């Protein structure tokens, strides 16, 4: 049910202060949706809002790992704007560390955001999506996994743990919505490396050089956030269960199909060529 004097299309985007989240917010607002944009950094959010059409974005400070805060956020969005018809669980962080060297605190920090944030957002907003969706115009629920939710790579063990979990959670939810004939389409997004500040903001183990890790990320970034946002929105509109972004995203999907579990050995041998720790 729409609210008088409120837009019919309410899109919720987490991690909207930068990167893919910012690009999604801009594209959705330019397309006529009103965006409830959240981030833990209010300064970044203000920059995002300034780039969008006047009146097209309402901003909220949000820590997606805080379940109570996310549940309250869903009620705030309903009160301020009306029930959501689109949800993009985009917020995420990275940790460059071996399994042996990563700290428990860093692992819990990453999984709290990358898994917990997706589950919290989904559970908080799913009732609104079911309410607003119709057979002719279903609501959209989009969860950001990663290319590393399709394949695991060295020194991204915590990140892959989270992104594999997002994939399983999202694919199960999509099946449930189909079984129960709910008017909600569910999509799992697998970007390769996108040109964002992700690399400069990632945490590293004490044994790693953060500047070197950031440089590796920058060299691998093949896709712009704007291109990623366009692919996501087009994939959701076409009701694609799995949305692959970039040549590296597509390669990550192909490797396990071609090589099975043998892909991991291939990647490990390739990584030994450039990894300074390989001689230890």
Please tell me the distance from the alpha carbon of residue 80 to that of residue 19, in angstroms, as a whole number: 25
| Measured CA angle at 273 (ends 268, 276), to 5 deg | 100
Please tell me the distance from the alpha carbon of residue 110 to that of residue 201, in angstroms, as a whole number: 12
Q: Which of 128, 117, 156 is nearest to 38 (CA)?
A: 117
Measured CA distances, 123 to 34, 51, 130, 133 (Å): 21, 30, 11, 16
Instruction: State both tokens at 223.
Output: 């896709």
Q: Which residues pair with 264 in a beta bridge?
A: none
Residue whose pair of structure tokens reads 């301020």 in the numeric block: 80
Burial of 79 (0-12, 13-18, 19+ CB in 10 A): exposed
Confirm whether 155 is a catalytic residue.
Answer: no
What is the three-class DSSP state of 55? coil
Contact 141, 122 (CB under 8 A): yes
Contact 89, 121 (CB under 8 A): yes
Q: Which residues pair with 13 in a beta bridge?
A: 37, 88
Catalytic-role residue among 60, 155, 159, 263: 159
Q: Which of 101, 112, 63, 58 is nearest to 80 (CA)?
A: 58
Instruction: State both tokens at 130.
Output: 């079911």
The set of catalytic residues is: 159
């Amino acid at each position: 049910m729409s609210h008088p004097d409120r837009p019919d299309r309410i899109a919720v985007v987490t991690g909207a202060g930068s990167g893919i989240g910012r690009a999604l917010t801009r594209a959705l607002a330019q397309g006529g949706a009103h965006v409830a944009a959240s981030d833990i950094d209010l300064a970044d959010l203000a920059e995002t809002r300034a780039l969008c059409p006047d009146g097209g974005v309402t901003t909220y400070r949000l820590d997606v790992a805080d379940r109570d805060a996310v549940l309250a956020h869903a009620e705030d969005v309903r009160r301020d704007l009306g029930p959501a018809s689109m949800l993009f669980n985009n917020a995420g962080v990275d940790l460059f560390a071996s399994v042996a060297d990563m700290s428990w605190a860093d692992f819990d920090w990453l999984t709290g955001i990358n898994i917990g944030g997706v589950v919290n957002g989904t559970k908080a907003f799913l009732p609104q999506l079911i309410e607003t969706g119709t057979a002719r115009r279903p609501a959209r629920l989009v969860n950001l996994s990663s290319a590393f939710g399709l394949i695991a790579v060295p020194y991204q063990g915590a990140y892959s743990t989270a992104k594999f979990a997002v994939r399983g959670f999202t694919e199960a939810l999509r099946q449930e919505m189909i079984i129960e004939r709910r008017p909600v389409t569910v999509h799992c997004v697998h970007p390769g490396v996108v040109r964002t500040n992700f690399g400069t903001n990632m945490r590293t183990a004490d044994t790693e050089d953060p500047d070197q890790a950031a440089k590796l990320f920058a060299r691998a970034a093949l896709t712009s956030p704007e291109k990623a946002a366009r692919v996501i929105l087009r994939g959701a509109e076409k009701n694609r269960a799995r949305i692959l972004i970039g040549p590296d995203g597509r390669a990550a999907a192909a490797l396990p199909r071609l090589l099975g579990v043998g892909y991991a050995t291939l990647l490990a041998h390739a990584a030994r060529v450039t990894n300074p720790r390989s001689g230890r």
